[in-house]
Every structure is written in structure tokens, then in C-alpha cells.
Amino acid sequence: MPEDSGSWTYVLVTPDGLVTESLPWLVEKLRSSGLVPVAGRLIRLESATMLRIYDPSGRLQQSDFPSKRAFDLWYGLGPSCVLTLHYGDLDACDALLAVKGATNPAAASPDSIRYKGENGLLNLVHCPDDEVAAAEELAMLLGPKCAQTMQRLAMAPNDRVQSLTVDLLADALPVSSGSTALSLPLLVGRIRLRLVQQAALDAVSAASATSTESTLSTLVAVASALRDGQQEIAKMTTSSDRVHVARALDGQVHGHLLSLTRLTQNPALERSLHGLRAVLMGSEDDWLRTLAALEANGTYISPAESAMLEISTYL
């Protein structure tokens, strides 16, 4: 992928931004400001990581921040989302800081992002001050390898990666309420979409540009099949019917996903897919091993999802 002109940065959509279903509005707000989201990933935030980001020098006093308990409650609300952004002009960080707005929503401009926040802590987003901070913070949030891939995409956007990550986020989010929120087949489908996002990022890390584009093309087809399958499963009115439809559709995607994970050489991703299929088929006998693989892969799993997946292994 040839490098594009312009600059890059990232934005962290904090859990309150996802719980309040603000992600679509945030993406459009960024795009209207010339900041194009080109890659995205759901993550779990940790207090220790964020405190390092907020105070990289370690010089601030504990009293300068809310208590760790407050941070843990905040980050426990749900997943966060990292979006890397491409900007056609010279300073993406300045552009993002301008559209972000003041820390306190009551003091933020009505045309800023944080104007829609709840308070000085639940204010939807965090962003870095400059590109140096952006690279350092991204590595802390995602790990060096994934951070480098996301930064690379921010300077050389790939339409397929954007469709597989940014455009797929809404379908991959955990669902916390509704008649199908605890539906095992739909839950497995949402997690599989998160794994597709990871496979897309893994593909970009591959050495061969030709194999990368081939893998991404196949992933687009798999993602489309997963989305269509989710719609078919959601039409069913009983749990048994949803399971029946999901198992019938499984063969259309599982083989493709496994072949792609071998190409991207990610054992944790492959183990995660095997475990999720076993849960769906009623043959999983070691859920904790699958959970460990998902965690090793950095895949976000909500407490409700983890509970439902483990409970299903006892039935």
C-alpha cells in the first residue's frame, strides 16, 4: 500500500460513548471534520493503562485524579473503541483536538464532540496531543504490533480494511438488552465479527501485498455472510429455531475463517474460532481454554457474553 499524503492520529471512544450508542454520530462527526476513520477495533480499557496515558511522566499526585475505583467503574461500563484517523492536511492531532472540545461538556462548544458528554469523566472520547503521543498511546492500548498496523493504515488507507473494521463495529458490539441479547447463536456471531476485524488487521501485517488483498477480499465475503446469517437467525422466534438456523449456516463461514487464520499465523485467533464453533454446536468441554484464547487475542468479551458462553457448556 503506497503511503498517502496528509497526517494521522487516533481517537479512543470510551465506554460511555458506546453505551449511549454515540458511535455512528461520532464517526460522522469526525468525517465531517475531514478526519476519516480508516481502521477500528473494540478493546477493554484498564485503569493502569489509562493512568499512564493521562500522566506519562508520573509526576501528578493521586489526588489530581478520581479514585481507581471510579476509573474501574467507568471502564467496566462496556467496551471501548480505538479508531485511527487519516487527515488530508498537515496536523490531524490539532484538527481532532479542535473538534473534541473542552473536557467539561458544560464548557464545550455546541459544535464539539464533548458537548454531548455527561460530565468531565463521561465525555465520550480521548485523543492525543501530538503524533508522538499518538504512537506511544496506541502501543499502550493495542500492543506494539497492532498499533504499528493501525498507524500504517492511517497513512495508507485501505477501503476493504475500513469496511471490515470501522463499518463492521456496530454489528460486532455486545448487546445488553432486548429479547435476543442472551441468544447464544447471535452472541457467537457478534464475537466472530470481532475476530474478522482482527483477521483483517493481521492480514495487513503480512509481508505479501498480493496475499493481503486476497485475504481481505475473502474476509469481506465472510463478513457479509455473517451479517446475512445474523439477520436470518434474528427472524426466528424461539431459541431452538435460532440454534437450528445458526448450525445450518455455520459451514458457510467456519472453513473460510480457519483457512484465513492460518494465513495470518495467529494461533490464538484459530483457537478462538474452534472454541466458538464448539460452543455453537454443543460440543465445547473447555470454555476457559477458549476464553483464554480470546483474551490472548485481545478480543473484547462482555461479562454477560462470557457468562452465557460458559453457561451453555453445562447444558
pLDDT reported for residue 125: 97
pLDDT at 151 over 50: yes
pLDDT at 2: 45
User: Residues 7-21: what's their mean pLDDT?
Assistant: 96
| pLDDT for the residue 62 | 67
The answer to whether domain 7-157 has CATH 3.10.105.10 is no
Provide the pLDDT for residue 265: 76
pLDDT in tens, 176-221: 889 889 999 999 999 999 999 999 998 898 766 667 888 899 899 9
Q: Is the pLDDT of residue 63 over 70?
A: no
pLDDT of 33 higher than 80: yes
Average pLDDT of the residues of the chain:
91
Query: In what helix (H) or strand (E) does residue 41 lie, and over which residues does it extend?
Result: strand 35-43
pTM equals 0.92
Rounded Cα gap, residues 262 and 5, in angstroms: 33
Measured between alpha carbons, how far is residue 146 from residues 2, 32, 94, 169, 296 in Å? 19, 27, 24, 17, 13
Q: Where are the domains of the chain?
A: 7-157, 171-312
Give burial (CB, 10 Å; 0-12/13-18/19+) of 297.
Answer: buried
- 3 state DSSP class of 36: strand
Predicted pLDDT of residue 313 = 84
Q: Report which of residues 279 and 286 the model is more confident about.
A: 279
